[in-house]
Structure 1
């Protein structure tokens, strides 16, 4: 069953951002998080084990695994093929928009300024990630816009 990004986000009040250095830790970590009620997992591509971790964690019953730190268009299809069901990027470019559309991977783009929020919404992105949150002003920034 394909889920929309909003449905995925509503599944869990917390979405941990996970960087896997040792692929042996991927499945036990996913099982522990799911057992604790945290089903939505964002696995970053910041380590060389990111895609392998996505592949392993997506096989854990109840886990909804996405890919984080998407910065290159070719990463979308590779992540989808590894089992990711959503993606997160630190920003939004025309090339990333095209890759998200062609891969069918729902994208949660990072935004930092009101102009970036407006541009993302113009492109049809309704769910956005304030990134980086603390340098951007955190909750105070969100309240201001």
Structure 2
């Protein structure tokens, strides 16, 4: 079994997101793109690239955490749709995207990647407010 003490977050994930909370397995982060309320879950285990790299118990834990983040994000945003994806083409480290989508967003109905123009970073107060609301929803 991998030791969480040797886990290192990919620098691209760290640079593109804000920390929200550490759950039992995954760190939850807010993607720094104000166009889309977007959480990322990163299991704190070294060397993971695919969901199949997790053992059965860890995979079940992660699915429960994806469910919790999805429900929290939906409740906070009242989004029209949730997109959940584990791609890893740009950042190989296993991470799962949970994206609140709206029929009025700039990328609808397509994917958020490469659509809808340039990323719009959060103003610090706006990011910290959403981080706090998401953290609160996950600890309630």
TM-score tier, shorter chain, comes to under 0.3
Greater percentage in helix: 1
So what's the TM-score if we normalise by structure 2? Answer: 0.26
Greater percentage in strand: 2
* Greater relative contact order, per chain length (Cα 8 Å cut-off, separation 6+): 2
So what's the TM-score if we normalise by structure 1? Answer: 0.25
